[in-house]
Chain A
Amino acid sequence: MSETTSRIIKIATKKRYKNKYHWTDYFSYFYLFLGVLLMFGPVVWLGLSSLKTLAGIQEYPPTILPLSQIQVDVEGYDKPLPIFNVTQEDGSVKQLAQIKRIGINAKMVDPLNPGETVKVPIDKREKIREFKIQWQNYVDPLRKYDFLLYFKNSTFITVVATIITLIINSMAAYALSIYEFRGKNFALVFVIGTLLIPLTIILVPVFYVVANFGMINSLWGVILPGAATPTGVFLLRQYMLTLPRELIEAARMDHASEWAIYWRVVLPLSIPAIAVLAIFSIMWRWNDFLWPLIVLSKSEVYTLQIGLNAFHGELTSQWNYVLSMTMVTLLPIAIIFAYLQKFITTGIASTGMK
């Protein structure tokens, strides 16, 4: 072992208690190993399985990699038949195609000689596999079903709702941080008050309001009710309170209008807080489920989440499509996380919201 690697290992494994491994150290690594398997395993497993054929997904016990059984067309049979390596009585191995399984025996046929069938005990045969990636799982649902439309709806809701949220929340935060005015405390209490009322306890009447505006089965019915977020107002206000007042006074001296001060001075300076809110808003909107489920009942306005759930409900056996579309649904968020994970985690730790 070279000098540097040994030094790196020494530094990496350095303990607070020198030369002594405490039982908690072993436990920690064991726990972390188990944690990675349990937390990350399902998603990796989902990704790998979404590339399998339907038969490969339904196989039990399952294989980890997308290996599928080779199938051949045999004369006289409608469907392609799976091939097995069969150990003959004399010990030699022969490739046979299976017609069907009957109890502990399988009815098999030689693909080269399709005329005669043989009975083989099932423990004498072994599947022949090949590595095959089933891209159709991703292509078919986008072509045959409406997933492209769902994707568009979800994107529209996410983008428009985030823009509206950012603009009106930052306006309110600007008013509540820069100005002193009569009723400011009342407005603050009002905003805190809305924090106490989650959507789940006002489902029925919000539905009533949205219905009165004629926004049932419209994407706007999903976008508007959640556009003003108390958390967003507070996050931005807290940040804007730290901005130097001299800048605003200077702008006012230069006869800038209040609106111009807002968008030319305060907004650019608040970019870090706005970015945190933007990421949260994108996450909330993309993952939103309960409210769209109530407002959207026609398939042409479904979001990806609702569409995926409905698709799964209708075609429970089509796991290959369900898995691939689940991947498509989680991918945008996963990509954002991969790029901005530090940003997101510090944002959550410092605001306590998600």
Chain B
Amino acid sequence: MENIRNQIKNFFLRILNIPFAFLMHAIDLIMWPIQKIIGVRNMPYIFLLPNLIFFGLFVIIPLGANFFFSLSSGDELLFAERELPTTKQYDQLFDCESYLNPNTCTEDFFWRGVYNTIFFVVFQVGLMIFFSVLTAVILNKKIIGRGFFRSVFFFPVLLSPVVVGLIWQWILLKNGAFNAIIESYGGDKVSFLTDPSWAMASVIFVSIWAHMGFYTLIVLAGLQAIPPNLYEAAEMDGTSRERIFFRITLPLLMPNLLVVFILASIKGVQTFDEIYVLTGGGPGTSTSLIVQYIFTTGFASSGSVQNFGLAAAASMVLGVVLLFLTLMQLYFSRNKESKHQEI
């Protein structure tokens, strides 16, 4: 039986292989003369070329263009029709009587986004690290059905932001499942997504729900790298479990947590899609973050309100924050020899 299945599998693999081999042979017809002309030594450039063209077109040129967009003004997307050079966008972005009060700014939407993002990232990252460590520690114990529990906690990571947003929008409805549970325990209904004071909390909760599994996995990998003989020694000394956790597990986990912290911050600062589906940044502007501002200013608003320059300037500000965080990540991961931080 097994043999037949393998034969069938090989048969299909071979059929799949035919177009692939055909394509590769066809490319070889071009590559062979090239190799004859430029020699084996220069072949790596040919292999690198397609990837570098893509990087150039869609990363490097855009990065340069972003400077240009942010330093020029006008409603046109074409370079030739924009005014150059001007710091108008940055002036407008940073025109505030008091930076602590978004209402006094010309671009109050941007500054609300900034403060919302800070609030969001602080709570989301903090709570996420807490719960991922808790979950990872529990999943690392010898428990029944460990594999099952692991996949349950990991599963939401694979869901798309639209799916996550829609599921929770529906569960958190005024007449949704969450409120039904609250009422059955004698509580009052809560407008999770339409009450400004609840919306941010709901958004943070959903975002943790969706991404926690990923960080749990990284922490779990860190926990498994702790040498078991440390625990055996502590156990032999009769150390209490609480003490083992705070004196062995946590200190040895610290480098991992630092990586988790930075990774989660980088992702957190860029959060857009789940919130866009869940609340659309509302009610009002209570859950709109910086990327939401970039998206709305650059693309979503119609006609004359659309302002590529302003969106580009805001991206540059976001870029500086991300650059700082990424450099921190590179610095810390260089200090620690671990495979998953090289990338």
**Measuring CB to CB, which residues of chain A are less than 8 angstroms from any residue of chain B?**
12-14, 16, 22, 24-25, 28-29, 31-32, 35-36, 38-40, 42-43, 45-46, 58, 60-62, 167-169, 171-172, 174-176, 178-179, 181, 184, 187, 190-191, 194-198, 200-209, 211, 224-228, 230-231, 233-235, 238, 252, 257-260, 262-263, 283, 286-290, 293-294, 305, 308-309, 312, 319, 322-323, 326, 329-330, 333-334, 337, 341, 344-345, 348-354
Verify if B163 is at the interface (C-beta below 8 Å from A). Answer: yes
The answer to whether A203 touches B44, judged by C-beta atoms less than 8 angstroms apart, is no
- In angstroms, Cα B58 to Cα A207, docked, is 9
Structural contact, A349 and B340, CB atoms closer than 8 A: yes
CB of B248 closer than 8 Å to a CB of A: no
Q: Tell which of B41, B163, B295, B323 touches A330, judged by Cβ atoms closer than 8 Å.
A: B163
Quick check: A203 and B153 within 8 Å, CB to CB? no
| B interface residue count range (under 10 / 10 to 19 / 20 to 34 / 35 or more) | 35 or more
Does B18 make an interface contact (CB < 8 A)? no
- Asked if A290 contacts B273 (CB within 8 A), the reply is yes
CB of B98 closer than 8 Å to a CB of A? no
User: What chain A residues lie within 8 Å of B318 (beta carbons)?
Assistant: 200-201
B45 interface hit (Cβ, 8 Å): yes
Would you call A198 and B322 a contact (CB within 8 A)?
A: yes
Q: Total contacts A to B, CB within 8 angstroms?
A: 281
The answer to whether A233 and B51 have CB atoms under 8 Å apart is yes
In the complex, identify which listed stretch (B23-31, B104-112, B191-199) lies at the interface while the others stay far away. B23-31
Asked whether B230 is an interface residue with its Cβ less than 8 Å from the other chain, the reply is no
Question: Does A238 contact B342, Cβ atoms closer than 8 Å?
Answer: yes
Q: How far is the CB of B337 from chain A (nearest CB, A)?
A: 14
Contact A206 to B62, CB < 8 A, known contacts A40-B155, A61-B184, A172-B52: yes
- Beyond A28-B141, A350-B340, is A204–B315 a contact (Cβ under 8 Å)? yes
- Contact assessment for B150 and A39 in the assembled complex, using a CB-CB cutoff below 8 Å: no
Q: Are A14 and B343 in contact (CB under 8 A)?
A: no
B55 touches A35 (CB 8 A): no
Contact A259 B32 (CB under 8 A): yes
Per the bound structure, the CA–CA distance linking A344 and B214 in Å amounts to: 11
Q: A194-B59, A205-B69 are in contact. List 4 more A-B contacts (CB 8 A).
A: A31-B134, A39-B213, A181-B45, A203-B299
- Across the interface, B138 reaches (CB within 8 A) one of A28, A195, A224, namely A28
Query: A231 vs B24: C-alpha distance in the bound complex, in angstroms?
Result: 24
What B residues does A175 contact at CB under 8 A?
43-45, 47-48
Are A28 and B143 neighbours in the complex by a CB distance under 8 Å? yes
Instruction: Enumerate chain B residues within 8 angstroms of A181, measured Cβ to Cβ.
Output: 41-42, 44-45
CB of A176 within 8 A of CB of B48, answer yes
A-B contacts, 25 listed (Cβ < 8 Å) = A14-B142, A16-B235, A175-B44, A175-B45, A179-B44, A194-B59, A200-B294, A200-B318, A201-B318, A204-B312, A206-B58, A207-B298, A231-B343, A234-B343, A257-B35, A258-B43, A287-B160, A294-B295, A294-B299, A305-B160, A326-B167, A329-B163, A337-B158, A345-B154, A348-B218
What residues on B are CB-neighbors of A194 within 8 Å? 55, 59-60
Partner of B168, one of A39, A42, A200: A42
